[in-house]
Every structure is written in structure tokens, then in C-alpha cells.
A and B are shown apart, each in its own frame.
Chain A
Amino acid sequence: MRKGISVLLVIILVLAMFTGCTKPNSEPAAAPADPGAAAPEKKEVKTIRVASLPSQISLPLYYISKQGWDVENGFKIDLTTFPSGAPVNEALGADLWDVSAIGAAAVMSVVGYDAIQIFSHVDAGEGINAMVRKDSPILKVKGYNPAYPEVYGDPETLKGATILLPVGSGSHFQISKWIEAMGLKETDVKLVHMDYAQGFQAFKAGEGDIVCTSYPFTPKLVAEGYVTASSMKTLNIPYFDNIVVNRKYYDGNKDVLVSLMEQLLRAADVFRSDEELYVDAMMEWYKLNGQEMDKENVRAEVTKKPFVTSVEAKTHQIGASLKMQAQFMASIGKIKNEDLNKFDTNIKTEILEETVKRFK
């Protein structure tokens, strides 16, 4: 009997400990209400879970959150950064985000998880280069294909080359176009899958004949004397990065998406009008993601990769770049041809159309 009472008392004591553990009230105490006044309207703030990458592609999303433009407009960005597109897609599969800024991996977001593309917000081709060493035989020939006068190499110098690149990325697309321009096939070269950082290191160590690069690695390779043999720009490939939405989120939250899109365009307008602010914001975003960058390299990157402004958005066509990448993926057997149908149904212009109405 005594033991039972003792046990009961201990349980009560333990439970009593937890009654003090409430969330501290961080909001200031409300002033006493005027009995005559109407009750103040409580503004509902919807959280948008946003998947970002540690690069320029996600800068506007970070900037919106930092400036508080999200809360001002009835939503709250909950930003999570992933190292690359593949884990972003895995997180989509686990339903961990609502909106993402994503590059070529958007093809798999659509094919694998039925994501919706609502915007192609940045011309991202600059800096996606195929680079070679100064003494590479590829540099002996320029303009072999007259349609691409700035592109180096010819079938003889390119055949059998070992190319270090992230397979399935925008760089893979660029390499494929380069090989095609030289009249070769993918089987005529050796593609070795490596992410940009690993490829950079391996190339410096003497591995491979060609390395594919993107920002922030491109200026580092240029500084070390490596030469751009071909690029998205010299091959005239339109390449845009994407804003994609989780299908589950899209259907019930179009109003929030319009608000988010409006702030994206607002950020783009600010960046376009104030270069110093744009560069500083990018430096800050890089620093937050653990990268110390040279200011002039960042300036070179961001000024050549402009975000689509509210004026440009009025005539901007979304989807063409993503469809091209999807067709490329199908042509090399990475996705099935029947998956291409999704790029007719999953590219939605209605959010952008609604948003541009808000800009006079």
C-alpha cells in the first residue's frame, strides 16, 4: 500500500515538472481592447517550404526572406538548402518541400514526381563551360562548324577524349550539343561522371582531357589558366533555371504562388536596377553557404546571368528550355519517350500570367 502511494506521488511530481514547460510567449502582451472597437483582423501567414541550392539560382528566394517581403505579403518562406538537384528531388519524393529553384534536375522533378514548372526565372547558361588545358590539341582548331565560330575542336581532336562532368546535368546537355556540332556521337567520347567540385580537383590533378564546370568553379579554373573550349553561350543554347512546385501544393495554393512570384519579380527588378546591391546579396548568399568568393568574379557571374524582370516576364515564354533538356534526356535514354508528354501538361503559365497583371 505504502509502496503504491509512493509510486503515485512520484508520478504526480514528474508530471508536475512538465506543467512549467510551455512555449515562452515571444509576442508582446496585447493592449487592453477597447470594448467599442471591432476585433483586429489576424493576418494568416502561410508557410511555403522552399528547397534551395547554394548558388545564384536561389538568391531571390533568400533575398525575399531576408527582406521580410514574404511576411508582408501573407506567406513565410521556410528555406532548406540542398547540395545539388538530386537530393532536392529525393526530398520532393518524401514531400519535404513545396517550391524549389532547380536547374536541369527539374526534368526529373517533372518525370519522377509530377512537379509543375511555373517559371524559368534566370538565364543560367553563362559559366557552364567545357574547359581544357592550355596545351590541349582541341585548342588548335576553332570554328570547325561555321555555325559556331567561337567553339574549339574538331572530330579528330575530340574523338576519344575523356570528359569529366555530372551526368544528366546542364553540362551534359552542353557537351552533347558540342559533340553533335562536331559531327560525333556520345559513344565517340568517354564521359566520366563527377560532380563539379570533384571534377575540378581531378582535372587539376591531371585527370581527363576536358572538364565541365559551372559557377562558382568556372572563374577558379580560368584563373588557373585553363581555357574554355565550348560553352552554352558559344553553342547558342538557351538555358534557363526553373521554379518548380510540388503537385500536391500547386492545386490548393495558387494565390500564395502568385504572391511568391510577385516577390520573385520584385527581387529581380531590384537586382537589375542596383548592381552593387545584387553583387553584395550574392556574396552574402555564397558566404552563408560556406563559400568565400572574389567580388569581381561574383560580379562577372551575376551580371551575365540576369533574372527575368517584371517587364520581361510579360513576354517571357516558359518551358522551351526545360522541354529541350527533356528531349535531350530522352535522346540519350535517360528518360523514356512517353515521359515527354508530361512537358506539355506540367508546364503551367497561369501563375505568371496572373502575377504580371499586378505590375503595371
Chain B
Amino acid sequence: MKQNSKYKYKIISALSIIGFFMLWQLATDVLHIVPVHMLPSPLTIAATFVEKLSDPNPDGSVLIVHIITSLQIAAYGFLLGAVIGVPLGIFMAWYKKIDMLVKPVFDLVRTIPPIGWIPIMILWFGIGIPAKAAIVFLSAFIPCVINSYSGIKQTSPVHIWVAQTFGASNTTILGKVAIPTALPMIFTGLKLSLNSAWTTLVAAELLGATSGLGYMMQMARMLIRPDIIVVGMLTIGVIGILMSAGLDYLEIRFVKGGN
């Protein structure tokens, strides 16, 4: 009976997705209720997706090249954000003096939207990958800091007292008690950071790009190709889901003991 229910729900979900696409197709290509320049049909988008796999027009690169360029920028920005953000959040939470020193500047920086950094990044890093990665970094490191900070702060005082009773040093308590406790929050921060890095990509690629999914969408905007814009959006969405799934797997593996 339970299995039947499980399949029933899966069928309903599948039908609802199919129904959604059918309605969309009906409204666009069949009944022309929505003009194509406002919303291309699912079939048009699918055809454009296939075309972009091999045709570099009109933006100069095929889809795979755009994806690889974007992944490169997002990866650099995300990894830098994680490598700097997680330890910074941990130390800010654990050492009051570091918190007092860093927090005012951090609170100032985190409210500035990534797109606002573009002119400064051109001056500091030029127009290549470092500048784009820097913009992604600024977006990615904030959730890492905040979640690591919160995770450490949530360490149970009882656990700390027990460790102190057993003669553990401050650093040992940090390494053996606080950080393991904070790991679920740190991983949540990493997931948010990855999401943030990936979505900031379009803004980063306003900065003198020659390829990338954000660049592809920008060119499509100028050339009035909403089909390519939607292909870009969906590709960004799907890759975001896949990266999130990857992080989920790592979290289960390393935080929840592999169960």
C-alpha cells in the first residue's frame, strides 16, 4: 500500500510538470496568447538549447564553453570565499578581540551589493578572471562567515565546561568541541555560499566578459533573443541544483556519519 502511495505521488508530480509545459506550449506556439518575444515556447527553448551546443552564434561561443567559463569563475570565488570565510567566522566567534576588530568592517561590507563593486574591481584587478572571481568571492564569503560564526556560538556551554574540566586548552576545545558542533551550520553556510556565488555570476560577467553564461544572457538581451536568455537561466538553475546535490552528499558523508 505504501509503495502504491509513493508511486501515486511520483505520477502526480510528473503529470503536473508535463501539464505545466503543455499549457506553456499552448499559450505560446499554438494559441499565441503570449507573444514569442515575451516568452518563447518550451519547444523553441529546447531547440535553442540543442543549437547552442554546437553553434557559437550569436555570442561567439558554444554552450559548453560558456558553462566552463562560468564554473571557473564561480569555483574560484566560492573556494576563496569558503577558505577565507569559514575560518574568519570561526575565529570571530571564538576570540572576542578578533570579533571586535573585524565585525564593524564586515557589517559594512556585507550590505554592499556585488554589482556595486564592479568599478573598483576593474581598477584593482583589471578585466580578467581575477576581477570576476573577486566579485563572486564577496558574495560567497558572507554566508560562510555568518554561518560559521553562528555555528560556533551555538556550542553548548556544558560541553565546553566538560572539556575544561578534563584540562583541555582553549585551542583544543575549539578544535575538538566547537568546530565539530558547528559543522552542520558551516555546511549550511557553504550551501548558501555556493548558491550566492552561482547567482552572482551574471553580475560578475558584466565586467568585460568574452564568454560565460551571464555574458551569453547579456548578448541575448542586446540581440533580442529571449530563447537564449531562458536557456541561460535554466542552465544556471540546473547546474545550481547539481552543485547543491554534491554538497548535500558531502554533508551526509562527513557531517552525518555517512548515514
Interface residues of A (CB under 8 A from B): 85-86, 89-90, 93, 105, 108, 111-113, 164, 167-168, 190-194, 198, 201-202, 205-208, 333-335
Contact = CB atoms under 8 A, between A and B. Distances in A.
Contacts of B223: 108, 112, 168, 334-335
Most central of A111, A164, A193, A198 by chain B CB within 10 Å: A193
A105 B207 CA distance: 21
B210 A191 contact: yes
A192 B127 contact: yes
B224 A333 contact: no
Interface in B173-211: 207-210
11 contacts: A112-B224, A113-B224, A164-B127, A168-B219, A168-B222, A192-B208, A193-B218, A193-B219, A202-B126, A205-B126, A334-B57
Interface residues of B, number: 22
B12 interface: no
A333 B58 contact: yes
Nearest to A164: B208
A86 to B, nearest CB: 5
Given A207-B122, A333-B56, A194 B127 contact: yes
Nearest to A195: B206
A85 B215 CA distance: 17
Contacts, number: 68
Contacts of B209: 192-193
Interface of B is mostly: loop
Contacts of A108: 222-224
Contacts of B118: 198
Contacts of B17: none
Given A93-B38, A192-B210, A193-B219, A333 B119 contact: no
Contacts of B221: 86, 90
B37 interface: yes
A151 B118 CA distance: 33
A206 B208 CA distance: 14
Nearest to B209: A193
Given A193-B209, A207-B122, A202 B219 contact: no
A167 B224 CA distance: 14
B125 to A, nearest CB: 10
Contact of B208 (A90, A112, A193, A334): A193
A111 B210 contact: no
Interface string B30-46: 00000001100000000
A333 B127 contact: no
B123 interface: yes
Interface in B97-135: 118-119, 122-123, 126-127
A281 B223 CA distance: 33
Given A113-B224, A168-B223, A202 B210 contact: no
Nearest first, the 6 closest Cβ-Cβ pairs linking A and B are A112-B224, A333-B57, A334-B58, A192-B208, A86-B222, A207-B127
A183 to B, nearest CB: 21
B208 A201 contact: no
Nearest to A94: B38
Contacts of A333: 56-58
Nearest to B224: A112
A85 B44 CA distance: 26
Interface string B213-240: 0010011011110000000000000000
A207 B222 contact: no
Contacts of A105: 222
Given A201-B119, A201-B122, A334-B57, A190 B222 contact: no
Given A105-B222, A112-B223, A167-B222, 19 more contacts: A90-B221, A93-B38, A93-B224, A112-B37, A113-B37, A168-B222, A193-B208, A193-B218, A198-B122, A198-B207, A198-B208, A201-B122, A202-B127, A202-B208, A206-B126, A207-B126, A208-B127, A335-B58, A335-B223
Contact of B122 (A85, A190, A205): A205
A111 B224 CA distance: 9
Contacts of A202: 122, 126-127, 208
A93 B122 CA distance: 33
Contacts of A167: 219, 222
A245 to B, nearest CB: 17
Nearest to B221: A86
